[in-house]
Homo-oligomer: A and B are copies of this chain.
Amino acid sequence: MSERLRIIEAVRETLREELERDDGVVVYGEDVASAGGVFRATQGLADDYPDRVFDTPVAEAGIIGTGVGLAATGMRPVPEIQFQSFLYQGFHQLAQHVARIRSRTRGTITCPMTIRMPYGGGIHALELHSESFEAGFAHIPGLQVVFPSSPAETKGLLTSAIRSPDPVVFMEPTRLYRSFREEVPDDHEIPLGEARVVEPGDDVTVIAWGSMLRETLDAVEDVDASVEVVDPRTLYPLDTETITESVKKTGRCVVVHEAPRTGGMAGEITSRVNEEAFLYLEAPVERVTGYDVPVPMFAREDAYLPDAERIEDGIRNALEFN
């Protein structure tokens, strides 16, 4: 029985179903239990699963590090990091252990952990509440990096993430948490590593994920061309095939992300498109991204974030290149 849900509700329902389905699942993080999370993503879960939903001290290295141990005992840790930037406090545990314990032990100890966290700007929050470091995470072998962009996508991807035998960095677009509802099917799994062609088109391919997908769909409405919009959904593994097939068809490509330009995932996608579809490319891969500046505080945040207008410009650049 499907329901019309917001992203935040889809997160909650998925967590509830996975807690129910698998009694190894443990949901924990700062303010996750008694308050139900600062965005209320986990509201009510502690009432129903008091033994597997926990408030933790303010200690992100501890949240990630203890997860490695929980996983070793056979549990499936699903920690929440309150905002993406605070994962940095536990970055060493992520890079040195979560990502590596499988290879360190030749597969004899694994870490099926799903680290949920809100990422990105657009809600006029405090400093360091708006970052998106996906490129850094995708650069760490052993991790999977997943971006839902709608309620149904959230359900399908989070379900797969929690059931995955390998760790997932699950980036939830803060500003879409409550922005719209969508029909969310029951029992919905979307395999990690499969991109989605959101809108088919022939003239240009636009690749966008998370909250930037919404901006892109807005932008596309105002562009006088046939635009194919691809949501990679997972940045590692990255569905190179769907992306390059699209570019082979359109010959032109735009990549959109919130993160600063230099070192962002647009570079990686450009490389893959070059490698697989070079002879089809009629224009350089266009990047529409955040600037190489720290996301400013909110009085200037809107100027930082790519929006429909900048995406339109990017699409036009790609279309007009000769």
Chain A contact residues, CB within 8 Å of chain B: 85-86, 88-89, 91-92, 95-96, 99-100, 103-104, 127-128, 133, 135-136, 138-142, 236, 238, 259-260, 262-271, 274-275, 278, 281, 283-285, 287, 291-294, 296, 321
Report the minimum CB–CB distance from A316 to chain B (whole Å).
Answer: 15
Copies in the complex: 2
Report the minimum CB–CB distance from A281 to chain B (whole Å).
Answer: 8
**Distance of A77 Cα from B307 Cα, bound (Å):** 40
Mind listing 13 A-B residue pairs with CB under 8 Å? A85-B96, A96-B128, A135-B263, A136-B139, A139-B259, A141-B262, A141-B291, A141-B292, A238-B262, A267-B268, A271-B271, A274-B284, A275-B287
Residue of B nearest to A139 (CB): B263
**Distance of A99 Cα from B282 Cα, bound (Å):** 38
Please tell me if the beta carbons of B104 and A141 are within 8 angstroms of each other in the complex. Answer: no
Report the minimum CB–CB distance from A92 to chain B (whole Å).
Answer: 4
Report the minimum CB–CB distance from A275 to chain B (whole Å).
Answer: 5
Please tell me if the beta carbons of A285 and B262 are within 8 angstroms of each other in the complex. Answer: no
> What would 15 more interface pairs be, CB under 8 Å, given A85-B96, A139-B262, A278-B281?
A85-B95, A89-B92, A91-B92, A96-B128, A103-B296, A135-B136, A136-B139, A136-B263, A138-B262, A141-B294, A236-B292, A267-B267, A270-B274, A271-B285, A278-B321
Please tell me if the beta carbons of B136 and A103 are within 8 angstroms of each other in the complex. Answer: no
Report the minimum CB–CB distance from A91 to chain B (whole Å).
Answer: 4
Report the minimum CB–CB distance from A1 to chain B (whole Å).
Answer: 39
Residue of B nearest to A272 (CB): B267
Report the minimum CB–CB distance from A266 to chain B (whole Å).
Answer: 6
Residue of B nearest to A296 (CB): B103
Please tell me if the beta carbons of B91 and A141 are within 8 angstroms of each other in the complex. Answer: no
Please tell me if the beta carbons of B141 and A260 are within 8 angstroms of each other in the complex. Answer: yes
Report the minimum CB–CB distance from A219 to chain B (whole Å).
Answer: 20
